[in-house]
Amino acid sequence: MSKRDLLERRALQIIMSKGDDGILQSDLWKELEASSRVGSRISLNLGKKNLITRQRELSDGRWTYRVFVNIRSLDIDSFSDIPCVSCDEILKCEKGGEFSPNTCKIMTKWLHTFTHSELDEETISEISKNDDS
């Protein structure tokens, strides 16, 4: 994974951890220990991938952006273990792509455990078989 990909992933984790409050870009750069130039590029890239939303905001007399993860309407605490957060393929993952939430077995398995506290043995076996293929 490239340094840029790692920074984007870390940025996404930070933004996700801020929930509905989002985070000012300048604070995000500080947490990332990145320059504003590098940080702005990361933010733009995440925006292009539709992973975050950027909202213009006046802060200390200067226009900047507050950024939010695009799943902010969800209860972030409930989703703290979402597999995408730690997935090496998150930046390549898109509908119809080589990696896609629509076909991701890890995501399917996680959704099942999220929506069903107890899965029946047959379903667990089916998911496990698919993971091996």
| Rounded least distance, CB 15 to ligand SF4, Å | 15
SS3 readout for the chain: CCHHHHHHHHHHHHHHHCHHHCEEHHHHHHHHCCCHHHHHHHHHHHHHCCCEEEEEEEECCEEEEEEEECCCCCCHHHHCCCHHHHCCCHHHECCCCCECCCCCHHHHHHHHHHHCCCCCHHHHHHHHHHHHC
Among 15, 16, 23, 90, binds ligand SF4 (CB under 6 A): 90
> What is the size of the binding site for ligand SF4 (CB under 6 A)?
11
Among 10, 89, 111, 127, binds ligand SF4 (CB under 6 A): 89
Segment interacting with ligand SF4 (CB under 6 A) among 13-21, 65-73, 88-96, 123-131: 88-96
**Residue 17 or residue 36: which is nearer to ligand SF4 going by CB?**
17
**Residue 42 or residue 93: which is nearer to ligand SF4 going by CB?**
93
Residue with structure tokens 């605490």?
77
Among 83, 113, 124, 127, binds ligand SF4 (CB under 6 A): 83
If binding is defined by CB under 6 A, does position 124 make contact with ligand SF4? Answer: no
Task: Supply 63's token pair.
Answer: 């226009």
What residues make contact with ligand SF4 under the rule CB under 6 A? 83-84, 87, 89-90, 93, 99, 101, 104, 106-107
